[in-house]
Structure 1
Amino acid sequence: MRLKKYLFFAFGLTFTLLMTAFAHYRNSLRLVENITVEFEAQQFQFLNDSLVNKLLIQKKGALPWKAKDSLDLIKLEHLLENDPYIKNADVYHFQQGVLGVRIQEKKAIIRIQGPKQFFMDSSGDFFPISKNYTPKVPLFWGTMEEEQKPDLLFLIDQLNTDPFLRNELASIQYRSNSFFIGLRSFEFEVEIGQVRRLREKISKLKVFCAYRESHPSATEFSRINLKFKNQVVGS
């Protein structure tokens, strides 16, 4: 009786292993004949599915490829993420003979206008200007120093949390140890200083802008200074 159970178990295990090997063999004969590209939230700006296809084909060769189950998906993801406009890439098996690719593009929050021009995203990563798409983002005038990056990212983040200032912010500059910003609807320059007490400075700026809008004939200033506590200094 025990022998029969042992033989039955051995037969079942052998059958399972053979079926697994056969399935793996059949999969190994399949070819990847198509690539489907999906962009996160269906948003693509710098790239499109055709450009992603070309990038993969340039690196892997023309379709069809070897069996999709033998592809190193992680290597393909790293290959795509080496593209300066791609923040994250997921490569997966999608139906028979099709390779699925999901792309998250980098999102520019500012454009650096210095000796070299490039974009920067919210992670502080730089990427080049594109011929395919020009996002409407504020300009940073001058040379971007690495030590300025954390404060600049914080400044942009805080300004972008306010709907009014997010739409108004046109430019940022750093000189004489101070941040300066330019607004779209107002001609005066705004001296922020350092990013300390930034919420207070933003509040003062919004009050001053509201005053200027309601009093268009008031004294004109070419610059307002927000560095001093509880006051706005115009010049």
Structure 2
Amino acid sequence: MFWETSSTIAPGNGFSLFSATHLCWLAAAAILFFLAGRWYRGADETARRRLRILIGILLICDELAKDLSTLATGRFEWAFLPFHLCSINIFVILAHIVRPDDVKSEFLYALCLPGALAALLFPSWSSLPAWNLMCIHSFSAHILLALYPILLLCGGYRPHFSRLKPAIFPSLAIVCVIFVLNKKLCTNFMFLNNGGSGNPLAWAESILGNPGYLLALPVLIALVWAVMYLPLEAARRKRAA
């Protein structure tokens, strides 16, 4: 079962949300975030950059392990291409490593961090057993994706919603391209074809139907950003008063 994917695994071999398996992965992620963040806060910029480069290398290796293993075992699918929201953030992280700036940092905070954490809380790969390459890949990749912006925050980066505005229109263009690609390849990148399973979009789809569930997507994003930005703005205004 080590090489099986969500499409090839027999039913009944996976794990339940917030089961012992799931909670162990979440606990390991939380410990890593804490320890790495604490180290990063006290490190100099040279050491910080080395850790950021290491995360980028690990993400590339993670993606290659997924693609090469599924190609070698005849289990590759178009859905494994790096066009999900979290996968696209790999390219943003690599660009940030090469040339860091506030716009990329803001994009990673506003989109990569909540997306990766949501994937860890509501994994779409729960049909797979714990000792499975695709399961290990999915958990480890999303942990690394969440870790990168967490380190930026620990290193002193302070988010501001105004910095995200330059990235909004390119992001909408990407969504349009992915929507067309989904239709061509019969994939579900960014959950634009259906809500998936076991996550808030799936619940929205059960109520609003398809494509009605897409109406919940901007609402969900607005709620997440309100939680992420309003306390920061309130604290900023309090300091300025």
TM-score range, shorter chain: under 0.3
User: Structure 1 or 2: larger helix share?
Assistant: 2
What TM-score, normalized to structure 2?
0.24
Q: Between Structure 1 and Structure 2, whose CA radius of gyration is higher?
A: 1
User: Structure 1 or 2: larger strand share?
Assistant: 1
Q: Which has the higher contact order (CA 8 A, sep 6+)?
A: 2
